[in-house]
Amino acid sequence: MKKILFVFLLCMIWQEGFSQYVYGTTGLLHMPTADMQRDKTFLFGASYLDVAATPAHWNYHTFNYYINITIFPWLEIGYTCTLHKAEHGSTYFPPS
């Protein structure tokens, strides 16, 4: 039993975990991937962000959406928008 457990734990050391990048876009300015899509690619989507994936001062769930267009092999254009609540008196609230 100890040998089976040891082999199982040894195999788990080399396993890699892949997950979705929550911002949705790729590109040279996004450091986690820094790769680009093939040319003539159009991507769009949205992500639900749990309260655990947001900064500590955001105590609510939020949502983001993205559009990504790769026109040429050397040009990729991306837009990402994360929705958040602007509380009165915070630095995010525009002055009146």
What backbone torsions phi and psi does residue 62 show, to the nearest 5 degrees? -140, -170
The residue written with tokens 């525009």 in the block is: 94
In a domain, 84, yes or no: yes
* 60 domain-assigned: yes
Question: How sure is the predictor about 48, in pLDDT bands with cuts at 50, 70 and 90?
Answer: confident
Residue 73 lies in a domain: yes
User: Helix (H, G, I), strand (E, B), or coil: what is residue 28?
Assistant: coil
Residue 27 lies in a domain: yes
Closest among 81, 71, 79 to 37, alpha carbons compared = 71
Number of domains the chain contains: 1
Domain assignment of residue 37, given as a range: 19-96
Q: Both tokens of residue 59?
A: 């105590």
| pLDDT surpasses 70 at 34 | no
Predicted local confidence at residue 39, as pLDDT: 87
pLDDT attached to residue 16: 61
Q: So what's the pLDDT on residue 14?
A: 63
Do residues 53 and 82 touch, judged by C-beta distance below 8 A?
no
Q: For 63-91, what is each residue's pLDDT tens digit?
A: 888 888 889 888 888 888 888 776 776 66
